[in-house]
Amino acid sequence: MVNKLQLRERVLDQLRADLALQTKAARLARDEAISEESKPENQYDTHSLEAGYLAEGQARQAAEIEEGIAIIASLAVPEFPSGAPVALGAVAEVCDAEGSTERYFLCPRAGGLELELSGRSFLVVTPQSPLGRQLLGRRVGDSVMRPGRRATTPARIVAVV
């Protein structure tokens, strides 16, 4: 059984770590932009201007991470009864013809994040991703094509929790 509350907390932990890094980078770029050493020496010196643009971009990225944290923190992670379709908060287990199994956590943000919990790996996918769009609304037994795979045969959803 998957503890989705722990899984969600792992996603949040990673996002919080990313936020701390991004905030520090934005602060450093801002300090660089306003430092005495960055004052232009002539009309062609754009160092402080470039540092300002960098700081602005990093601050915007930090704000997006903060927004993602708030959204994921409020994400409901209910148990899905047998036969229920895949929806936000679900973990879908997909198995291909060779028996390779992958687990996907459908989350509104943090797509592409790979996590491990209780010795099993999970990939966070968003509803906007190609795989997320395929998984939404599907049920156990339905097939999906996993993007980036060379296999021509679809993989089957074997569990939705």
User: pTM of the predicted model, to two decimals?
Assistant: 0.86
Write down the pLDDT at residue 105.
97
Cβ atoms of 154 and 90 closer than 8 Å: no
Write down the pLDDT at residue 144.
94
Under the phi-then-psi rule, with left for phi > 0, alpha for psi from -120 to 50, and beta for the rest, what region is 99? Answer: left
HEC states along 83-128? Answer: CCCCCCCCEEEEECCCCCEEEEEECCCCCCCEEEECCEEEEEECCC
User: Which CATH number among 3.40.50, 3.10.50, 1.10.8, 3.40.720 corresponds to the domain 91-160?
Assistant: 3.10.50
Every domain of the chain and the residues it spans: 4-73, 91-160
Task: Note down pLDDT in tens along the chain; length 161 residues.
Answer: 789 999 999 999 999 999 999 999 989 988 888 887 767 777 777 777 888 889 899 999 999 999 999 999 999 999 999 999 999 999 999 998 888 899 999 999 999 999 999 999 999 999 999 999 999 999 999 999 887 766 567 899 999 99
Write down the pLDDT at residue 12.
98
